[in-house]
Amino acid sequence: MNNRPPISPSPSSSISSYRKRRQRGGPNIIFIIAGVLILGGIILLIAWLAGPSKPISTLFATETPTPTLTFTPTSTSTPTATATVTATATITTTPTFSTSFNYTVEEGDNLTKIVEKYNLGDDGIAWILLLNPYGGVSDSGFPIGVDPTTQNIIPGQVLLLPAPGAPLPTATLIPVDIAPGTKLEYIVQSGDTLAGIAALYNSTEEEIIKENKIEDPSKIFVGQLLIIPANIVTATSTRPPTSTPITPGPGTQLPTVTLTPVN
């Protein structure tokens, strides 16, 4: 084995070696500096993009989906012309009869209303009383005819009514041989006066007023029942009017029979 002492490098070789190492290290430093600069630039760029203004959001903005609007058709009703209904007035006609006819009494009726409804005239109530003589109450509870004192009628009762406009029968002249003072029933008619009635029956106003307890001779009324003392005076051809009968209202007493001797 050779034990040679280490050879010491010469100065020129040391300088050359240093220069080589320097040449090899120079590019590395440049690369490192460049890398640092690039890295710093990247960091600064990221900091700026992510800053308060956040321009990065504009660079990486996600597309916001536009909502699809689905329109639901609105049902629009087409106006239909509605016909205007004009109410037609109901005309209730009252039948006109040429002969006597039956009538069924309705709720709220009275003799005056019936006379007005069928235009029976001034003698209407007297006619009704003549055609419906009172005979009490039937087994069914309905009055037979019309009571001349009360003139009450009830719904469901059937009355015989005269033909509208029919003249009330005139009183039959009393027989010549009738006993003086015979009392007869008489129904006051339109146009009658006490004086005329007295002349018709050979009586006097005073006796008729006394017999019937008449307080006001001027207020006798159509359909009123009077008791006439007949043949108490000599017959006369005149018939002076002194009082005029009035048309009765509801509840006025009316008669039923004419020229019936009173016993």
249 pLDDT higher than 50? no
Spatial distance between the Cα atoms of 48 and 165, rounded to a whole number of angstroms: 122
Whether the CB-CB separation of 49 and 55 falls below 8 Å is answered with yes
What pLDDT band is residue 90 in, cutting at 50, 70 and 90?
A: low
Whether the CB-CB separation of 120 and 164 falls below 8 Å is answered with yes
Helix (H, G, I), strand (E, B) or coil at 94: coil
What pLDDT band is residue 254 in, cutting at 50, 70 and 90?
A: very low
pTM here is: 0.40
Query: Which residues on neighbouring strands pair with residue 226, listed in sequence order?
Result: 186
82 pLDDT higher than 90? no
What pLDDT band is residue 238 in, cutting at 50, 70 and 90?
A: very low
Q: How many CB atoms lie within 10 A of CB 43?
A: 10
Which pLDDT does position 62 carry in this prediction? 55
Spatial distance between the Cα atoms of 194 and 220, rounded to a whole number of angstroms: 8
Spatial distance between the Cα atoms of 183 and 261, rounded to a whole number of angstroms: 6
Average pLDDT for 158-184: 79
Residue 4 to residues 10, 13, 237, Cα–Cα distance (Å): 17, 20, 210
